[in-house]
Amino acid sequence: MSQRGKPRQTRRTSAQAGSPRRGLLIRITAGVAILAIVGAAIAIQAGGGADDPGVAFTINAPTDGATVSSPVTLDVALHGSQLGSPGDGLDHLHLSLDGGQPIAEYSSSRLPLQIPSGRHTLTVELAGPDHAPLLPDRSVTFTVTG
């Protein structure tokens, strides 16, 4: 009986000795994987979408230094990007007037804006479905006459 018990005890001992090492190996592997994902995520966040040469946008109107009347027509030309619902994997614009709180525009890249008289700066940013900017923002400064 005691001889039967011995090998079982030996097997259990070796299994117990291997388990923490295996657990540590799994944890280290998982830790390295997490670090790799975080590193890639930070690199993507820091670099924006600049890595993708296919995505670009320009502000066609109003032009920089122009004098326009309200409503001001904003016309943004998109290349390699389509506006729409983030749920469909599509991009959107962030619009900010004079450094104010940006608003999101999902449907159209050509829209009339009611802007009071005076000199203004409009900043446009192209954001992906995760709401992160895809490219550095662009600004135009113009004057609105009554």
Site for other proteins in 95-124 (CB under 8 A): 96, 101-104
Radius of gyration of the chain from its Cα atoms, rounded to whole angstroms = 28
Both tokens of residue 24? 């540590």
For other proteins, which is the closer residue by CB, 11 or 27? 27
For other proteins, which is the closer residue by CB, 68 or 133? 133
Is the separation of the CB atoms in 119 and 141 below 8 Å?
Answer: yes
How far, in Å, CA of 17 to CA of 73, rounded?
Answer: 73
For other proteins, which is the closer residue by CB, 69 or 85? 85
How far, in Å, CA of 132 to CA of 127, rounded?
Answer: 5
For other proteins, which is the closer residue by CB, 5 or 54? 54
Among 44, 64, 69, 77, binds other proteins (CB under 8 A): 44
Closest by CA position to 74, among listed 145, 140, 7: 140
Closest by CA position to 134, among listed 38, 55, 42: 55
Site for other proteins in 127-146 (CB under 8 A): 127-132, 134
Q: Which residues bind other proteins (CB under 8 A)?
A: 27, 30-31, 34, 37-38, 40-42, 44-45, 49, 51-52, 54-55, 80-82, 86-90, 94, 96, 101-104, 125, 127-132, 134
